Amino acid sequence: MATNENKSQAQASKGIDRSALAYRGPPLPMVPDDLVVPGILHLDDVDERLWIPQAPDVWFRPLLLSVSGGFFVNILRVRKSGILSRHRHAGCVHATVLKGRWHYLEHDWWATEGGYAFEPPGDIHTLEVPDDVPEMITMFHVTGAYIYVDQDGIPVGVEDVFSKLEKAKKHYEEVGLGADYVNRFVRRPRLANIAYDSKEENHLLAISVLSILQFTSLIQLPRSPERSLERFAWRLFQAPFSDSLGEFMIMEPTDAFDPSICASLHNKIVSFLTQQALAHNNVLVHNFFDAYGDEAEAIRDCLTEPLINFLENIDIMISNDPESSPVMNFAPHLCVPNPNEFWVLNGGLPNLSGEDHENWIVLYLGTEQEIGIYIDLDTHLCTWQREVMPRMRTWYPLQTALQLWLNIYASGRFQPSVGLEAISDTANHRRYIAADLTRDLKAYHNLLVAIQSRSPGNTTSDELGLVGEETLNKFHISGFLRDYFLNARRPSFAYIAPGLQIPSTTWLQEILDEDRGSERYEFVRRDGKVLRDDEPREPDWMQQGSSNWVGEPLPLFPGPKIESVSAVFERENAKFLVDGISGVYSWPDLISEDAVQLILPNPIGDNGWVREGNPDAVTDTENVPESLVNNDSLYQYGWCPFLPSHLPHLSTNLDNWRQLVEKGEWSVGLDGVEGGIEVFRVADTEEHARSYRLTACFDG
């Protein structure tokens, strides 16, 4: 009987069309959810709240935001004519015109209703909507980023899936849909569909997945014993996925030096410089040894094979006329690699064991007084040194440094420069870009919300501006600080942090009127105008400019009067204080206009718990150097391994304060955050120190 049943089942299965059967195997690892958005062609029958303002008379509607794939699909709606933007594409773009028509000034074709256009990576063009088109609607599939450029191709801004995501979150929150409404359009790899019952099974599966990714060159995995594939895989399955798979992979440090990846990053940076190189009579040569000829060949035997591989594959700019045409800088603070500078000032450098050795080179010489980026020929790790007699430093993969500099170029902050232009008053390093103001205002307003939601009165205010335009004009306050004062919302309470108040027009005018003619005034102003480091003044500028100030420090959130100062603070920074006022000062430095310093009424740090955010901070609580006990010791980064030393952005401090409010470490009353400025002194105690420490400047 059983035999007959099996026979009949086999005969029945022969009649089944197996091509029509659904897949029944296990799901592939890390596959995102699929996504269906209905009615995208119903252009006039859609909830208006779904359209997100991008610019005046320009909106976008997201369809897909792939944070792991680095692309997005959206519908762009334009209700104005004329020039929309000039931009360069970092990846492929596919456009389908749903309504109207448009074209690029640089091309003779038109994108018309119902048509499709392909835009290749690297293309630079200017989008124009003609006067006779009242409404243009196009669906764009954008890979990578829009890099907005000026007429000469110099980057002035960037837009990608992450900026789209932030705009969408903010808009949906404002229109009542909720910030999490955008999540329906976001796709990222999921680990839930491949999780097994035990950590061991997850561990083995992770190794398999990462091995496939490594084999297909989708990611670069660590190769050192300390950061093995197994350890990396274990961490992958113990930590939740971030919004960006790429960020998760990149931020896991790797000690490996991959010459091809580093050469590719180097060359991408050089691509930002090629247009300006021609104007400066520079020529581009692919291969370090071809560019420098005998000078480079003479040192080949002193270099390692991986480093030679890197140098053979990088683009080098050299001058056609060295007597009159300087060579382009690799970055505002770095020169292009030059064999004549590799062993500059090599008098012995501490290696990872702390012992002196000489097996290193200066790969990228500094353009200013700093020496530059060293690379160790034993480990191929790099670090930034500024002293002639270097001290022990933490060393990092060159890939990490190159990726950071490339990101800064893409943001528009780094600009092409030559010679001393790198540190001049021109825009070769844009210390203030629009993204700075956006970030700082967001952090400020988030802090206000955190305080107001915990205030017994729970009152809000929509009053825009902290200081009036007339006062800002009177005292020649410009740049970031001006824009911040004009665009920050005034809350109904007075204290934004313990002992620190929100500024006002009356207050600022009074203290600057009283300051006229003071020693500080004569130091930073002349005839009411703010001086710069490159303007002559007495005494010698080298003595006066020791703090690298490039703009007037002014109190942003004032506190009480200074009571005592350390010897170091007296020598370096006390001369910048307005009327002896403590508090958070806007303190423009060589990196950012929105840099800030918290100045306390008395020095802090003698307990040894106040630590700098960057590596190599002194951690001794028994014998604290006197030089570390200062009025401005809190919220400092310290030495930076990839850039000249710099202060934190305003948003960094504000985000820290918001966390202190949200965690309940700061109490809130009717007038804002309670307690005097002495509350900050708990930062120098073991119990509270971590709550006041910054993370490394290159981690955020």
> Same structural domain for residues 551 and 683?
yes
Q: What is the pLDDT of residue 195?
A: 40
Q: What is the pLDDT of residue 318?
A: 86
**Domain that includes residue 160, residue range:** 49-187
Q: Which of these three, 131, 166, 187, is where a domain ends?
A: 187
Whether 652 maps to a domain, the answer reads yes
Whether 648 maps to a domain, the answer reads yes
Q: What is the pLDDT of residue 235?
A: 39
* Cβ neighbours of residue 416 closer than 8 Å, sequence gap 6 or more: 154, 272, 273, 275, 276, 277, 328, 329, 428
> Same structural domain for residues 413 and 442?
no
Place of tokens 């010791």: 633
Radius of gyration of the chain (CA): 29
> Same structural domain for residues 296 and 399?
yes
Whether 683 maps to a domain, the answer reads yes
> Same structural domain for residues 411 and 483?
no
Query: pLDDT means per 10 residues in the chain (700 residues)?
Result: 50 64 74 85 87 93 89 95 91 95 94 95 93 96 89 82 91 90 82 42 50 44 38 40 32 62 93 79 90 92 92 90 75 89 58 53 80 86 68 77 90 77 54 90 93 78 87 91 95 95 96 88 66 40 39 93 94 90 93 94 92 66 78 89 88 95 94 96 92 78
Query: CA separation (Å) from 268 to 110, 125, 254, 385?
Result: 31, 20, 21, 24
Structure tokens at 355: 């012992």
* Cis-peptide into 539, omega within 30 deg: yes
Whether 77 maps to a domain, the answer reads yes
Contact 613, 645 (CB under 8 A): no
Q: Which of these three, 187, 204, 226, is where a domain ends?
A: 187
**Measured distance CA(305)–CA(342) in Å, rounded:** 16
End-to-end CA distance of the chain: 72
Nearest alpha-carbon partner for 192 in 230, 246, 237, 248:
237
**Measured distance CA(326)–CA(281) in Å, rounded:** 8
Whether 195 maps to a domain, the answer reads no
> Same structural domain for residues 631 and 611?
yes
> Same structural domain for residues 384 and 450?
no
Whether 625 maps to a domain, the answer reads yes
**Measured distance CA(637)–CA(200) in Å, rounded:** 40
Place of tokens 């109190």: 555
Report yes or no on whether pTM surpasses 0.75.
no
Q: What angle do CA 548, 549, 554 make, to 5 degrees?
A: 150
Count Cα atoms within 13 angstroms, Cβ side, for 615: 12
3-class secondary structure per residue, 245-290: HHHHHHHCCCCCCCHHHHHHHHHHHHHCCHHHHHHCCEEEEECHHH
> Same structural domain for residues 506 and 388?
no
DSSP H or E segment with residue 315: strand 315-319
> Same structural domain for residues 605 and 479?
yes
> Same structural domain for residues 289 and 147?
no
Q: Which of these three, 365, 400, 423, is where a domain ends?
A: 423
Amino acid at 211: S
**Measured distance CA(660)–CA(664) in Å, rounded:** 6
Q: What is the pLDDT of residue 431?
A: 85
634: helix, coil or strand?
coil
Whether 192 maps to a domain, the answer reads no
Bin 144: left if φ > 0, else alpha if -120 < ψ < 50, else beta. left
Structure tokens at 650: 């305003």
**Measured distance CA(451)–CA(491) in Å, rounded:** 10
Structure tokens at 12: 């029945």
Structure tokens at 116: 């499709």
CATH value at residue 100: 2.60.120.10
> Same structural domain for residues 490 and 597?
yes
**Measured distance CA(412)–CA(168) in Å, rounded:** 23
> Same structural domain for residues 483 and 580?
yes
Number of domains in the chain: 3
> Same structural domain for residues 400 and 440?
no
Whether 473 maps to a domain, the answer reads yes
363: helix, coil or strand?
strand
Structure tokens at 512: 């600057």
